[in-house]
Amino acid sequence: MSNIIPQTIGQQYGRRSWAEPWKIKMVEPIRMIGRQEREQALQAAGFNTFLLRSEDVYIDLLTDSGTSAMSDRQWAGIMMGDESYAGSRNFYHLEEAIQTYYGYRYIVPTHQGRGAEHLISQAAIKKGQFIPGNMYFTTTRLHQELAGGTFVDVIIDEAHDPASQRPFKGNIDLDKLQALIDEKGAANIAYISLAGTVNMAGGQPVSMANVRAIHELCGHYNIRVYLDATRMVENCFFIQEREEGYSDKPITAILKEFCSYTDGAWMSAKKDNLVNIGGWLAVNHEDVFEMARNMVVVYEGLHTYGGMAGRDMEALAIGIAESVEDDHVHARVNQVRYLGGLLTEWGVPIVQPVGGHAIFLDAKRFYDHIPQDQFPAQTLAAELYLDSGVRSMERGVVSAGRDPKTGDHRYPALELTRLTIPRRVYTQAHMDVVAESVKAIYDVREQTRGLKMAYEPQYLRFFQARFERL
């Protein structure tokens, strides 16, 4: 296994430079408002970037979710929407695309990822069961908890260390998983919740060897493995780059093989699949499918649209095929790495190695004088917006929420601020502006003070919490 990670496609193929495999046909104007207006906007938003108006944002790196640019083919597909209530031809196109590229048997469409998380959690978790997984994700864990389950993190220790250069920091630690099965008993494990890549760990991938081993271990105990496929295409890029035997395999083949070791997947199509809205659940077993297909009509919509319009499903079916093209995936991940490369060169602490969808600033090291209960990552997101109108997101103690048993803050080892790169949206010049702004606030870091929480909602508090300067 190679530990040398080429930083650009140019290095990988021996070319001097590389460029995106598309050109721009339509543009959306953006502008940077003045510093005084940014200060006002930030105050009005309670220092929470989720509460800013997008018109007050210059470069929007809040999320890669639903923010992709669609292709001319996808927009043409929008015109081909079949808006019949039942049996829309766009549903069958979508079903075929998922079966072709991911390889699962039964498909249930949903309005977005958390709709699918709700269905799988309710269909596959019995009260009191445990769900081991490779680090939590906010909405995923909440749906597991609402179904009466308890999520248990069994990711390898290195995933919690932002400086570790391990190539597959998203892997499950098989010893931790075995120990949990031994302790709780296989019957008390609902399923394995495996995400590729791992968002909260910095977009870190899972290796093919790891999923194969999980599949074998779980086969022995009759425990099912469900995949959060939200950024699985990006995960396949890292397998192609870093895992022996995969460098000459196309992304499509790697994706199909990976999914074949799992029993189903839920998907936020707003990420990898290149659409602005949409999601799906796909499973191989009829029992779970039956339940999910029945529940979808209660919570989402009929089982041939699940909350999406016909045109949304058409754009999604086309987006799936585009998302697995090698050129697309290479350009996507390498743009993220371009930004990571600049920041690394300038000595800014970020999670290494750079993952698939975002740069994660290591707020604990960035602001080493701000204690975690004064929200260093939230502070960093606020300061970055103030400096340049660049919007980022907290992924630290605010996102981690409170322990449902003790009611205390959960203090995650990783206290990060995420610069998430939308797909096919920004240019290299935008990345330069972002890097320069991060450097500017890093240079004055010692003068920066933390925040205190002024309002805290009950669920997923990071979306709506408000803060004040200390």
Residues at the contact surface with ligand F0G, assessed by CB under 6 A: 63, 65, 112-114, 137, 139-140, 195, 199, 228, 230, 268, 270, 279
153 vs 228, beta carbon nearer ligand F0G: 228
Least distance from ligand F0G to the Cβ atom of residue 112, Å: 3
- Catalytic residue status for 406: no
Give least dist CB 263 to ligand F0G, A: 17
Secondary structure class of 414 (helix, strand, coil):
coil
> Is 249 or 357 the residue whose CB approaches ligand F0G more closely?
357
| Helices vs. strands in the chain: H and E counts, helices first | 17, 14
Report how far residue 233's alpha carbon sits from residue 17's, in angstroms, rounded to the nearest whole number. 23
| 85 among known catalytic residues | yes
Q: Given 114, 231, 270, 271, which residue is catalytic? A: 271
Q: Which is nearer to ligand F0G, 45 or 62 (CB)?
A: 62
| Bridge pairing between strands 279-283 and 106-110 | antiparallel
Q: What is the pairing mode between strands 390-391 and 59-60?
A: parallel
Strands 264-268 and 390-391, bridge-based pairing = unpaired
* Shortest CB 204 distance to ligand F0G, Å: 12
Judging by DSSP bridges, how do beta strands 225-228 and 264-268 pair with one another? parallel
Give whichever of 50 and 92 is closer to ligand F0G, judged by the CB atom: 50
Nearest to residue 383, comparing CAs of 49, 34, 33, 31?
A: 49
Rounded least distance, CB 33 to ligand F0G, Å: 24
Active site residue 230: no
Residues 6+ apart with CB under 8 A from 135: 153, 155, 159, 170, 195, 198, 200, 201
CB of 465 to ligand F0G, least distance (A): 16
Under 8 Å between Cβ of 167 and 242: yes
Residues whose CB falls within 8 Å of the CB of residue 99, separated by 6 or more in sequence, listed in order: 105, 107
Active-site hit among 15, 35, 72, 85: 85
- Residue tagged 């981690």 (tokens): 400
User: Per the residue annotation, which of 137, 261, 375, 385 is the catalytic one?
Assistant: 137
- Locus of tokens 């991060």: 438
The SS3 call for residue 352 is coil
* Minimum CB distance to ligand F0G, residue 271 (Å): 6
- Please confirm, yes or no, whether 138 is among the known catalytic residues: yes
Instruction: Compute the least distance from the CB of residue 178 to ligand F0G, in Å.
Output: 25
Q: In 3D, which of 431, 423, 426 has the Cα closest to residue 338? A: 431
In sequence order, the 6+-apart residues with CB closer than 8 A to the CB of 16 are: 10
Residue whose Cβ sits closest to ligand F0G:
113
For every residue of 40-85, DSSP letters joined together read HHHHHTTT-GGGS-GGG-SEE-S-SSS-PPPPHHHHHHHTT----S
Q: Which is nearer to ligand F0G, 42 or 61 (CB)?
A: 61
Which residue type, as a one-letter code, is found at position 353? Answer: P
47 closest CA partner among 436, 412, 375:
375
Min dist CB 412 to ligand F0G, Å, is 15
Task: Give yes or no: 137 in active site.
Answer: yes
Q: Which of 249, 395, 423, 424 is catalytic?
A: 395
Q: What is the amino acid identity at position 329? A: V
Cβ distance to ligand F0G smaller for residue 231 or 328:
231
- Choose between 181 and 333: whose C-beta lies nearer to ligand F0G: 333
* Closest CB 134 distance from ligand F0G, rounded Å: 11
Asked if the peptide bond before residue 197 counts as cis, ω within 30 degrees of 0, the response is yes
33-46 CB burial, b ≥16 within 10 A, e <16: eeeeebeebbeebb
Instruction: Give the ranges where 102-163 is alpha helix by DSSP (H).
Output: 113-124, 138-146
- Give 65 or 262: the residue with its C-beta nearer to ligand F0G: 65
Q: How far is CA 165 from CA 141, 196, 284, in A?
A: 27, 18, 35
Which residue number, 45 or 358, has a Cβ lying nearer to ligand F0G?
Answer: 358
Q: Which residues are identified as catalytic?
A: 85, 137-138, 228, 271, 395, 462
